[in-house]
Amino acid sequence: MTAPKNGTFLQNVERMVAKTVQYLDLPPGWAEEIQAPDTTIKVQFPVEMDDGSWKTFTGWRCTHSEHRLPAKGGIRYASIVNEDEVEALAALMTYKCALVNVPYGGSKGGLRLNPREHSEGELERITRRFAQALINKGFIGPSDNVPAPDMGTGEREMAWIVDTYQMLRPEDINYLGCVTGKPVDMGGVRGRTEATGRGVMYVIREFFRNRDDVARTGLTGDLAGKKIVVQGLGNVGYHAAKFLAEDDARIIVVIEWDGAIINEDGIDIEALREWINVHGGVKGFPGGTYHEEGTRFLTYPCDILIPAALEGQITLANAADIQAKLVVEAANGPITYEADRVLLERGIMVIPDFFANAGGVTVSYFEWIKNLSHIRFGRMQRRLDEFRAKAIVDAIEAATGKEIESKLKHRIMQGSDELSMVRSGLDDTMREAYQEIKQTFHENAGIEDFRTAALVVSMKKIANTHKRIGL
Ligand code: NAD
């Protein structure tokens, strides 16, 4: 493969690591070992198409690091998938898990195909064959390697994978933990589908709580009324846009594969998503102006830019023209290394991918724990919480002789159910990680950006594990 002008995705990740190593006190050779992908397998397999013909598919799965097990990372379906991309994404998973204290190594998988070109039946046969190949080679299992959804895959594909695993390993009582992002009625956890987008929203909320960071970007006030451009209205982009709009932010541009929709008054995200579901793209959507050249709108004037589609979108070709004051990398690798330097020089703050989109793996971790413990979160304690809260409310009412307003009483007495516990755990994780990054950023005079600070936090944790167990 010839390297693109801005370097390959993996080269960009490696350059980011090289820039960070000076802030770590690592023994010689350790940085290289932490950075190098452990194992990458390539599988090729034939599948019968609906018309009776046979087609051979190519997929990869990389285990970047097994310093903690299982290794964790999504499976992507896209026509551009290649080995370099899978290894880069697996490396980002290692740093992401360490950053948000999810006890996993990093992994990633990819299958080269365009899901839009296949029927549901074909996709099921393809997914089952891919899963079978990975399971047989030890690249899927609850204790060693646990995939999840990524671009082009979702609950449906995860359900096929878990079913394939159960058929091949019927003796494994923990089979549900072999993959996360499953439908709730097949061992999934409530709140997983929305988790990455919700995590993006929690990160932006936390940013606005930190007034010094807000001031550094030149932004003022809070999230309400902020103009946001989102690239990609898939799982991550849609949920991020939806929750940010619920917080009164204004989504003024949505960029999709077939063009962009612009509406300065704010785009109705639900209506646009519905339109895409029916028509396959944004073209013709009546709630805004359509432009065919979508990518051009990454440089549209706005407060916050959220790339939530593909890697390599902000490059030397457009970095100098980005007008947002804050860029939140909901996608993996949307800014190339060189473009990142340009944004830094221009004073544009970037919240890096392996933090901004860590909500997905965080809630995947909750799902995996649920699968291993074989019990839904809150099942044992919800009614107990309610019983105790009712006793306190009764005591207060008896002591004061006044009745607490019924809406407030209901809020106080509501026990924790699975969804509220998942959201609480996710919010806490994102806020804690933000503060860890910020502390490292302030403690090291030489560190200029949150990306380097976040990587210092991650690599220190990984190195600490290696200090205990060896390289
Ligand atoms: P998805 O397949 O659900 O959505 C991707 C969206 O991008 C689709 O709507 C697609 O039409 C659009 N798109 C494709 N090409 C485009 C282009 N050239 N310009 C604009 N839009 C384009 O995928 P997703 O799960 O939302 O993943 C998006 C990004 O987020 C990826 O980088 C992925 O690795 C990352 N991510 C996803 C998760 C997750 O939980 N799904 C977790 C962490 C990171």
Q: Note the pTM of the prediction, 2 decimals.
A: 0.95
Question: Which pLDDT score is estimated for 7?
Answer: 85
258 lines ligand 1 (CB under 6 A): no
309 lines ligand 1 (CB under 6 A): yes
Indicate which residue of 19, 96, 108, 226 is catalytic.
108
Angle at the Cα of 327 from the Cα atoms of 36 and 345, rounded to 5 degrees = 80
Question: Which pLDDT score is estimated for 5?
Answer: 64
5 is an active site residue? no
Judge whether residue 6 has pLDDT over 90. Answer: no
CA 459 – ligand 1 centroid, Å:
26
Match 């499976």 to its residue by tokens. Answer: 75
251 lines ligand 1 (CB under 6 A): no
Which of 416 and 53 is assigned the larger pLDDT?
A: 53
**38-186 and 195-356 have identical folds:** yes
Domain ranges of the chain: 1-36, 38-186, 195-356, 378-411
Q: What is the radius of gyration, based on Cα positions, of the chain?
A: 23
147 lines ligand 1 (CB under 6 A): no
Q: Which residues, in sequence order, are CB contacts of 213 under 8 Å at separation 6+? A: 207, 349, 438
Judge whether residue 2 has pLDDT over 50. Answer: no
CA 233 – ligand 1 centroid, Å:
7
Could you tell which of 81, 151, 239 is best to mutate to test the pocket of ligand 1, judged by most ligand atoms within 8 Å of the CB?
151
Distances from the Cα of 471 to the Cα of 18, 26, 33, 417, 442, angstroms: 19, 12, 8, 41, 30
CA 231 – ligand 1 centroid, Å:
9
Task: Express each pLDDT in 210-237 by its tens digit.
Answer: 999 999 999 999 999 999 999 999 999 9
Judge whether residue 94 has pLDDT over 90. Answer: yes
Q: What is the mean pLDDT of residues 1-28?
A: 85
232 Rama class: left (phi>0) / alpha (psi -120 to 50) / beta: left
Q: What is the mean pLDDT of residues 447-471?
A: 93
Question: Which pLDDT score is estimated for 228?
Answer: 98
Out of 3-12, 79-88, 106-115, pick the least confident.
3-12
Q: Which two tokens stand for residue 80?
A: 């551009």
Q: What is the mean pLDDT of residues 337-347?
A: 97
3-state secondary structure of 451: helix
Please provide the DSSP assignment of 182-232 as one string: --GGGT--TTSTTHHHHHHHHHHHHHHH-HHHHHHHT--S-STT-EEEEE-
* Fold of domain 195-356: Rossmann fold (3.40.50)
196 lines ligand 1 (CB under 6 A): yes
Percentage of the residues of the chain whose pLDDT score is greater than 70:
99
Between CA 334 and CA 314 the distance in angstroms is 6
149 lines ligand 1 (CB under 6 A): yes
Q: What is the mean pLDDT of residues 242-264?
A: 98
Could you tell which of 236, 297, 351 is best to mutate to test the pocket of ligand 1, judged by most ligand atoms within 8 Å of the CB?
236
Could you tell which of 107, 196, 253, 255 is best to mutate to test the pocket of ligand 1, judged by most ligand atoms within 8 Å of the CB?
196
In CATH, the number for domain 38-186 is 3.40.50.10860
308 lines ligand 1 (CB under 6 A): yes
Q: What is the DSSP letter of 27?
A: P
Between CA 437 and CA 454 the distance in angstroms is 5
Nearest atom of ligand 1 to the alpha carbon of 358:
43
Q: What is the DSSP letter of 257?
A: T
Match 């030489």 to its residue by tokens. Answer: 446
Between CA 99 and CA 433 the distance in angstroms is 7
